[in-house]
Amino acid sequence: MDSILVTGNGPVNGQIPIAGAKNACLTLMPATLLSEEPLTLTNAPRLSDIKTMAELLSSLGTEVAGLQDGTVQALGTKEISNHVAHYDIVRKMRASNLVLGPMLARLGHAVVSLPGGCAIGARPMDIHTDALELMGAQIELKDGYLHAKTNGGLKGAVIPLRFASVGATENILMAATLAKGTTVIENAAKEPEIVDLAQCLRKMGAQIEGEGTSRIEIQGVDRLHGATHPVVTDRIELGTYMLAPAIAGGEVELLGGRRELLGAFCDKLEEADISVEETEKGLKVKNKGARVKSVDVKTEIFPGFPTDLQAQMMALLCTAEGTSVLEETIFENRFMHAPELIRMGADIEVHGGVATVKGVDRLKGAPVMATDLRASVSMILAGLAAEGETIVSRVYHLDRGYEKVVRKFSAVGAKIERVKA
């Protein structure tokens, strides 16, 4: 199994291009199930999760072609030839559940395995199924599979979400485009990925209003057509690479970055005395040279501080001046990286959903193990600021969410390499 070897090597300087968003692309790809005509996605990231979604869609009857070195995904589903999303594929990735809504909307029935993904919390499916049942679906759980069907198609409904779930909002949004009548999602998620999906569906002929707010209204149409759509910039990759100069020192420009994608995160960096400047090409981040200041972080739904940047932010705060408190409110099991950072000399105490980090003068390189996707890159970031060598194992997690990670870090002067098993 491959590992990543990082050697603390001083400041990083230069430019890093930011890819299209993994989470957005995984949401957009199932939209092909809603139409007989092709859907073309540009600026698609080249990641193992994208390949897994392509494999799943292919198993359902979609023709998938990667063009221009994989950054363009051409998807065509003239016919949904198979209505079963099997466990062997679905178990690899949480986003696989997003085929449920589109298949019910177009086909009227679907059998979808309960999904897998990172082990960072329960993330139950009942918020999805409860909403679809309000739209007239009949859903039964048997042997780990959701068996769903409709009598005469889905129907519009008012759906009050008990939690602003991103995945549930996406599933309902797609399902509602072909439902009879009007669907209103109350307490909808507001993430940029939701806005991106709505914009793509609108290009396909959907009638949608209110994306980016807590109330989304969808008027069902008889059919959707094909479209071409660029995947939005990956705000989590953006935030991750913004932390490279913050941790190691130096100045890096993130090409394609936009502050509105990460407002709360940028605010916290500035509070820690890191400079964030908007440029014509993106965002420029600079460590002013002094030791960063401690800050308190509480993860929240968008537009709050993203849970997907909590592990990386903890790596920065390990060497901050003073004590920082990080509160995780989204996923109940997302501090598994803390013991690995402690192996590198960090001073961290975890009690339930709260981690207290007392800054130390310097981290020291050590063998560490990635526990999930975001934790894996937090170890790399910590290694940039550590004395000596850090070896990060189980990097298959990393491949799910970051493309060309070694090349991008190396381009700004980091000493990093992938070590084959």
Annotated binding site for UDP-N-acetyl-alpha-D-glucosamine: 94, 308, 330
Active site residue 200: no
Question: Radius of gyration of the chain from Cα atoms?
Answer: 22
What angle (nearest 5°) sits at the alpha carbon of residue 406, between those of residues 403 and 407?
80
SS (H, E, C) the chain: CCEEEEECCCCEEEEEECCECHHHHHHHHHHHHHCCCCEEEECCCCCHHHHHHHHHHHHHCCEEEEECCCCEEEEECCCCCCCEECHHHHCCCHHHHHHHHHHHHHHCEEEEECCCCCCCCCCCCHHHHHHHHHCCEEEEEECCEEEEEECCCCECCEEECCCCCHHHHHHHHHHHCCCECEEEEECCCCCHHHHHHHHHHHHCCCEEECCCCCEEEEECCCCCCCEEEECCECHHHHHHHHHHHHHHCEEEEEECCCHHHCHHHHHHHHHCCEEEEECCCEEEEEECCCCCECCCEEECCCCCECHHHHHHHHHHHCCCECEEEEECCCCCCCCCCHHHHHHCCCEEEEECCEEEEECCCCEECCEEECCCHHHHHHHHHHHHHEECEEEEECCHHHHCCCCCHHHHHHHCCCEEEEECC
Q: Binding site for phosphoenolpyruvate: residue ranges? A: 22-23
In the set 118, 200, 266, 318, the catalytic residue is: 118
> Cα torsion for 160, 163, 164, 167, to the nearest 10°?
-100
Upper half-sphere CA count for residue 396 (Cβ side, 13 Å): 7
Question: What's the rounded Cα separation, in Å, for the pair 230 and 233?
Answer: 9
Active-site annotation, residues: 118
